[in-house]
Structure 1
Amino acid sequence: MEHRPGRRRGIAAIVLLVLGAVILGGVTVAKTVDPPARYTEGRQAGWTMTPTYTNGESIYLEPVAKGKLRRGDVVLASVPWSLQKTQMNRVVAVGGDRIRYKPSSKVAGQYRLVLNGAPLDEPYLEDWKHPSGVAFDVTVPKGYVFLMADHRMNSDGSQYPNNGPVPVGKVTAKVVSYPMAKLAVWGQLAGALVMLIGAALAGVARRARGRARAAAATAAPAAPAVAASVPAPAAPAVAASVPAPSGGEAQAPVAPGGRADVSS
């Protein structure tokens, strides 16, 4: 198959243009159908959430949709045990859950909280050996959440009897690793950038084809020269006939070196 200049670039340009259009269009449609929540930026105060969040670390906060709190979510809530207006904690149990702990007993070889009869896996804890400084056994009421910080030995929480579960309405924001609104903007920018690269590549391919056509036109061979005509060879000369002498007989030809016989 003959290789055409700029063909590969042209194919790559089409692929990039289509890909960029899909990304840009998909993110735009998704934002229109389900607009991402607005977010704010803040900073963690204190060491109660280490090692997940350290003091002074930047955090992103999104509004909490009704009924969207799940176990494991990190939230900002107005809690009775904090001197500040709000404090960062983790949702360990939700309404209807039974959460309990006994410091004197191990579960599955380690000290674990027990959630609804099963050991609770908490890889985010500062110290696996001490998931709580006190024993408790609480069934969380509907409309409440059970909050605990990640640094259990250096924080307060719902595990203490004078605190208990917190009403869902006291949760003011949800802490996210990266806000969807920001991801959507980056997605749109990425789609637009891919399309720009595709358009630039298409222009390069078009110029390459133009240069190839110009070069082909310049290098076209000239019309072949007409061969010069060669004159035909001259006709062989015809031997002149010798007339016989008048009134006499024709003489016989004389052989080389001999004599001619003459009749008497």
Structure 2
Amino acid sequence: MDTQAQHTERDRSSTPAHGAGEEGSRSVRRSRLSRRGGPRRSPMSLRAAGLTGAACAVFLLLLSHFVLQPFQIPSGSMEPTLQVGDRVLVNKLAYGSGAGPRRGDVIVFDGTGSFVQEEVTENPVSSVVREGLAVFGLAEPAETDFVKRVVGVGGDRVVCCDKGGRVEVNGVPVDETYLHPDGVPSEVAFDIVVPEGTLWVMGDHRSNSRDSRDHLGSPGGGMVPVDMVIGRVDWIGWPVGRASGIDTTEAFSGVPDAPPGGAHG
């Protein structure tokens, strides 16, 4: 009898209480899911993630093409304003509604036909890769793209140098406080009149910059057509420690507009 009673008690205790079977099955399911690495993402959610990623990529491409393009600084020609490796943001809407570049603006332009006389050919695959990376400012610019400062606009007479060693624009000497402290305004003498629709551009580190001065004898005389300007450099976005806007210089505030028909010597 005692033996029978013991068996009966054991049978009762081994029988799950109400709801215990359901909880046990949940535990089993959870343990199986954990062994499998969690629930698998459905094809629909993967497709949605892919579409979201593609939409973001298209948005960045359109933004870079029409509004704001990242640009990596490859050389020290614009020091100290821009350092090698800086990622700047080029405002492509800066010269809309008929407004053109002004003296003192830092611009990015396509030098084909002015700074680069022969068309540069690039492997189509490497070109696509470079352009894709350039959207995020991770690639150096194309060989035909340059960043310089506007010193003379259409009609201006630009001369170097006066008795104080300064560049003159329309007869007014310019105190270029943005220049690299180790250099001078120019070691090359010149006296030019900028044709309408073009720009005379120079680097801020004059002894380390190939700019309009180096193309005086080339077709176009070193002048950059306004319609080849990509945009104005308005911000430094990277590295974080240098993130800032590009200060507007007052160096040309006292320079008068060129007379109709351009300045004359």
The normalised TM-score by structure 1 is: 0.48
